[in-house]
Structure 1
Amino acid sequence: MATQHILSVDATLDLERGCLLRAGRPVHLRRQTYEVLRYLAQRRGHVVDKERFIEDIWQGRAVTDGSLAKCVEELREAVGEDAARLIRTVRGRGYILDTIDPPCDDNATSATAVIDDATLSAAAPFDTDKDHSTERAVDEATMGLAGSTVDAPARAGALRRRRGVVAAITCAAALLVTSWFVSSGLGRDTAPQAVTSLAVLPFANGTDDPGIDYVADGITASVIHRLSRLTGLRVISHTAVLHVRKRGGDTQAIARDLGVGSVLTGRLVKRDTRLALALELLDARDNRHLWGHRYEVDLREVATMEQAIPVDLVEYLRLTLSASSRQQLARTYTDNADAHQLYLKGRYAWEKWTVQGSKQAVAYFEEAIKRDPEYALAYAGLADAYLFGLEAGAGLPRKEAQSRGRAAAMKALYLDPQLAEAHAALGLLLMIDWDFPAAEKALSRALELNPNYAEAHHLYSHLLLSLGRIDESLRESRTFQALDPVSESPIGHLAWHYLWARQYDDSIAWSLKDRQIYPDAPQPTLCDAYYAKGMHKEVADCFYTEHARRLTPAENGDLKSAFARSGLDGLFRVRITQLKAVADDERDDVDIAALHSRLGEVEQAFLHLERAYTLRSSGMSALRADVRFDNVRGDPRFADLLRRIGLPPLN
């Protein structure tokens, strides 16, 4: 076999020395870039498909085309003259190396000791001082070796045997290895790139089995959940990454949309009862590989993978954690594999955001609790399914769903007081109960435990605005939007915040942005902002659009006719009649009172506000900030209502 490949007038690939030579002098290449060159040289004259590179060099690890393209770019720069002709791109397929190999004496010996590639791999310093039950795959920029596996005792044994071979190498050979690592930047202590913002993109299901989707999404959610608890690292919410998956696009475009500097991608494959997950951490600016791991576990041991991933990533990032934070990062929530599988299915169903999905989620969570009655995460999931989202409650009446959600949240906190999700659920319920000091305590605790929990920031913003703390509310609103910059909820929430802060132009701008991105999303704040600006025609058009989803064509036609005859006053009166026509237990007296307020019908407005107070309608908790009642805020009865609800007096 030829040990040297002449690439150009002054460029030679020396397989014995494991390097590229230019004018007889070694040229620095990253390990992965060298492997790409060697792979091409061994198949010179033949097109090598991108899939072959990924499978053979990256061993199936989840890498992007950008990682391979960067290697080729570095090779062309290193080869120099005639590089574009020698290393050619074959569009739609891969790459080919055109090279001329002169006769070479295979028996020629190097002036220094010869070390083959297998020995180089064995000598790599990634396992010299670690527990070998877990084999590390290290940063392509520093190691470029194969990915790790969570359970690899057999491979660890092989590594120990190879280390024995390395120990027997001559001193000169050892020096050669050392110098090769230094020149290639392969030291273990190479500092990682600072990562301050991260999106964990939904791990791809690399099988033909859609039944594994819930596992891939569940692992993604768990990794986000664990990493979100870390301070100093902004982690994009799971809701946001699910949205970007639906929209598609390349990694860099997604990262720009999410406003992050790094992304973690993964690909899950299943072989019999075994699951293998290949991960890659990328610099979002240029798709440069920063770190990689490969894990393999039995399907029933997915929880061990969920624990290992954040621990390994934090180790690479060299984040300083307290003992309690490190414990929380790697904690086990259940030892029952069946219960954990049911929990993953429940989360997957809930995140479909449909009534049917909510019902399925409740069933899965309840079954998980039967398997493990002390599974706190399952109780927290149950509380979420009953309380959060437009389709929350599993089809139950609102008060019954809230009652069940309360019981689930309290049980979750009894079992695990460290669950941020359960504290946030309790905070929502306390807001509904008008216990605002306790609600603030619960939400503050949720954010202490998980500073990246987007929904807790969302709820806290609502609470602060209801209490008249506008600047603090805006801070929470912006944090919510930073953690979930692409979903409809944060965009619509900012429109709502600016409306109730009486910043109407900003509210309109955010509402129109929301409508542009999510044309089917409700826009009630837009109607109210237009009204505050005196834009009556726009209010009417907005009304028609908003109510077209819930009214019959005839009812919407009545609104249009009323506006044509009597303007907004006529439209509001017809809408009041429509609202009063529904069953008593479904009537929204706060909305009815708001319309009477805008018509100047003060007595009717307070009549319905008193009824809403008696029924403890949810809208009453925000009465202090509600822009729709600006006409009656000076009435003493309004101040009395605020006092009875427990809200601060007006300034």
Structure 2
Amino acid sequence: MSPRFTWHFGVFSYDPATGNLVGPAGTQRLHEKPALVLETLVEAGGDVVSRKTLQGRLWPDETHVDFANNLNAAVKRLRDALGDRAAEPTYIETLPRKGYRFLVTAERRVVAPSQPVAPKPPETKNVPTASAPFPAQPAWWQALAVSLLVLTFTWVLVAFQAERTARLPTGKIMLAVLPLQNTTGDPGQGVFVDGLTEELINHLGRLQPARLGVISRTSAMTYRDSETSVAEIARALQVDFVLEGALRRGRAGGRINLQLIQIEDQTQLWSEHYDFDDSDWLAVQDRIAVKVAKTMALELLEGAMPAVARAELSDTRAYRAYLRGRHAWFSFNREAYLRAEAHFQEALSVAPEAAVVHAGLADTYNLLAFTDHLPQAEAFAKAKKAALQALRFDPDSAEAHNALAFVLLYHDRDFTEAERHFRTALDLNPGYAMAHHWYAGLLSARERHDEALSAMKQALTLDPVSLSVASDLGWYYLFADRDEAAVEAFKATLALNPDYGWAMHGLAVAYRRLGLAKQAVFTLRNDLHLNGMSPTETAYLDGSDPDAAWRAWLEQRATQFGTPEAPASGVRPLDAVMTLAQLGRLDEAFAWLEGTPDNTWLIFLRVDPRFDGLRPDPRFVSWCERIGIDP
């Protein structure tokens, strides 16, 4: 029997029998492929190990694996475990077009027989751990416990009355404010009920964010005029309570009926109605929202008082215009952004110092930067100006800090200032789903993957049916080299909407990185069909060799780009860069990269797997430095 041994190098030791790497951060178990890369490199004793040698070691029997991308991913995982950087390597040096070399001396030490080494455990996926049963308790203890429970329950009945005995969940409470129904028969009242819904979400979201989470407007409005039951909506949004209501016609004006439902047992905890005069259309929203917030604080938060938002829009015309602007903005498309811009400008013509409107305008220009309506630099300049105006009128506007951070991240690439404003936005409004979502982009680009994924999960908790949040979670898993988790996130997104192309394409990329070539090509074909391509146009994907089919797709795309000097109509240079990088045509890829220095997506140059082919090239480091990101 061969003696067991461990490798020792730098501040690390590695045990091939268990796959455990021990270093300053403790013990971590390497996955199979990164472990094989490490073992091959240390065994070479400082000699160059070719990519072909590594390919034979990692995939000795497989013929349908994307070796280039999967090897890059395995080396990156190993570097992450060692805290190493490709640009300034301590342990693993990349030699372009040759391979890799281990830079430190590795000492092999035999493990004494008295120090048995546990066998390497098999890798498992999401295996639940059985809980140990509770130890048996003596009968007298059980009787005492029952007596105490009875006494406690009796005291609750006396103190809070029968209707207040509904059991509140421990930990954080999640509440959804469903879109109020307009039952007046007047479609023009739709703006009013949407505005009141938003006011309720805003006021309730500011009560105690650490204790009460309120589902964002984006997810809540998905259920406007829906016939889905409250129980089904609650399951989809994963909430404990639902606030629902309707606007009805009253004798002198209108009546708002509201009720709070606990989902666990469908108990109506509270209901109330509010009458108002038609002439009081503007003030009624804030007044009702404040009253409801106070009631919810008593019902759910043991008497916490609401933080009432400042009333910035005292003019009815300005307020209506602002609500229409936000309503349009949440449609998330170019034409809607243009309508939103017009509505916000109308509101500012009446209320020029309203920070909330300037913040809405900043959000609008931020997203218009991703359309062809304005040159990107002009759109971001307008967004920055509007965000700064909002902060001048209200330095505590979470929306304005978030909008400014977006400009600083994607246009200025000032990561430090962008992070400062994102964090300020979240300090001001911890329940602001969009701030969590946009901040996660910065964290992912900076390779702070655990923080990025935590931020995305918080965003998804607050905005659980948002397709952009759900699909971006999948992409940020990809950027963190957690491909299996990415697959699950993309599948969850497609369960919400099977025609969401951003998730479909991400799923295809994830399958390919996992070496699941058939699934990757099948998903890619679906993605192309969603983008309007006919089966005839995607016939090159129908061959028996899925790896060849994927490459054929890339080659087909490459023929449509033209040249960097004379690009074909409608071609986005960054698409050419990604395609040519995957084909290994690096000279062409870097030539196209020259035309994209201001592209917003370049902040993900270090992490997006579609750029993997560029990273071993020495030009990659200089390009990262040139555009203001660390290599």
TM-score class, shorter-chain normalisation, is 0.5 to 0.7
> Paired residue for 1:353, among 332, 338, 353?
332
2-side partners of 1:493 and 1:359: how far apart?
Answer: 25
The Cα offsets for residues 570-610 of structure 1, whole Å up to 9 and x where unpaired, read as 32121122244896795422221222222122222222233
Of 567, 587, 603, which aligns to 2:587? 603
Does 2:626 align with 1:644?
yes
Q: CA deviation at 1:292?
A: 2.8
1:579–1:587 contact (8 Å) kept in structure 2: yes
Deviation, structure 1 residue 217 = 1.1
Aligned with residue 533 of structure 1, among 500, 508, 514: 514
Percentage of pairs with the same residue: 32
> 1:500 corresponds to which residue?
479
Give, in angstroms, the shift of residue 558 of structure 1. Answer: 7.0
Total equivalences in the alignment: 462
Q: Assess, with a 3 A threshold, how the Cα gap between structure 1 residues 620 and 353 changes in structure 2: closer, same or farther.
A: closer
- Whole-Å Cα distance in 2 between the matches of residues 216 and 311 of structure 1? 16
Rg larger in structure: 1
Q: Which amino acid aligns with 2:253?
A: R
Change (3 A) 1:555 1:414: farther
Task: After superposition, give the CA deviation of every residue in 1:449-485 in whole Å (9 maximum; x if it has no partner).
Answer: 1111111111111110100101101100110111111
> Mean alpha-carbon deviation: is it higher for 359-368 or for 431-440?
359-368
Aligned to 2:363: 384
Q: What's the counterpart of residue 214 of structure 1?
A: 191
Q: What corresponds to 1:440 in structure 2? A: 419
Report the AA paired with residue 192 of structure 2: V
**2:397–2:425 Cα contact (<8 Å) kept:** yes
Return the offset for 1:312.
2.8
In the TM superposition, what are the counterparts of 1:305-320 in structure 2 within 5 Å?
305-316=284-295, 317-318=297-298, 319=301
Cross-structure match for 2:463: 484
| 8 A Cα contact 2:529 2:535, kept in partner | no
| Superposition pairs of residues 253-272 of structure 1, within 5 angstroms | 253-271=232-250
Contact 2:215 2:463 in 1 (8 A): yes
Aligned-pair Cα RMSD in Å: 3.3
- The answer to whether the Cα contact below 8 Å between 1:244 and 1:486 also exists between their aligned partners in 2 is no
Partner Cα separation in structure 2 for residue 311 and residue 394 of structure 1: 41
In structure 2, which of residues 384, 404, 409 is the aligned counterpart of residue 426 of structure 1? 404
Q: What secondary structure sits across from 2:595 in the alignment? A: helix
Partner of 1:408: 386
The counterpart of 1:199, out of the listed 159, 165, 176, is 176
Q: Does 1:567 align with 2:544?
A: no
Provide closer, same or farther for how the CA distance between residues 551 and 263 of structure 1 changes in structure 2, counting only shifts above 3 A. closer
Equivalent residue, structure 1, for 2:322: 343
Q: Which residue of 1 aligns with 2:599?
A: 617
Within 1, Cα distance between the matches of 2:432 and 2:480? 24
SS at match of 1:446: helix
Q: TM-score, normalised by structure 2?
A: 0.67
Q: How much does 1:397 deviate?
A: 4.8
CA distance in 1 between counterparts of 2:279 and 2:567 reads: 49
Q: Which residue of 2 aligns with 1:466?
A: 445
For residue 284 of structure 1, the aligned residue among 245, 263, 266 is 263
Which residue does 2:12 correspond to in 1?
Answer: none
Residues 1:224 and 2:201 are matched in the alignment = yes
Question: How is 1:5-24 mapped onto 2 (pairs within 5 angstroms)?
Answer: none
1:258 positional shift? 1.1
Q: Match of 2:193, as an amino acid?
A: A
Tell me, in whole angstroms, the C-alpha distance in 1 between the residues paired with 2:463 and 2:490.
17
Secondary structure class of the residue paired with 1:574:
helix
What one-letter code is carried by the residue in structure 2 that aligns with 1:621?
I
Shift of 1:321: 9.5
Residue 645 to residue 396, structure 1, CA distance change in 2 (3 Å): closer
TM-score (normalizing by structure 1): 0.65
- Partners of 1:184 and 1:294 lie apart in 2 by 25
SS at match of 2:560: helix
Q: Following the alignment from structure 2 to structure 1, what is the Cα–Cα distance between the partners of residues 372 and 390?
A: 19
Structure 1 CA distance for aligned equivalents of residues 338 and 251 of structure 2: 31
Contact 1:464 1:470 in 2 (8 A): yes
- The CA distance in 2 between the partners of 1:593 and 1:643, in whole Å, is 18
For the residues of structure 2 that align with 1:301 and 1:383, how far apart are their CA atoms?
Answer: 30
Which residue in 2 is equivalent to 1:33? Answer: none
Partner of 1:546: 527
Change (3 A) 1:504 1:569: same
How far does residue 406 in structure 1 lie from its aligned partner after superposition? Answer: 2.6
**Counterpart for residue 592 of structure 1:** 576
Q: Deviations over 1:106-157 (max 9, x none)?
A: xxxxxxxxxxxxxxxxxxxxxxxxxxxxxxxxxxxxxxxxxxxxxxxxxxxx
- Contact (CA 8 Å) 2:174, 2:240: kept in 1 or not? yes
Distance 1:596 1:555 in 2: 24
The alpha-carbon deviation at position 554 of structure 1 amounts to 9.0
The residue that corresponds to 1:576 in the other structure is 558
Q: How does 1:518-529 map to 2 (within 5 A)?
A: 518-522=497-501, 523-529=504-510
Which deviates the most, 294-303 or 507-516?
294-303
Distance 1:426 1:497, change over 3 A: same
Letter in 2 for 1:421: E
Q: Which runs of 5+ in 2 are unaligned?
A: 1-156
1:297 corresponds to which of 276, 279, 288: 276
> In terms of mean alpha carbon deviation, does 478-487 or 538-547 score higher?
538-547
CA distance in 1, matches of 2:568, 2:620: 24
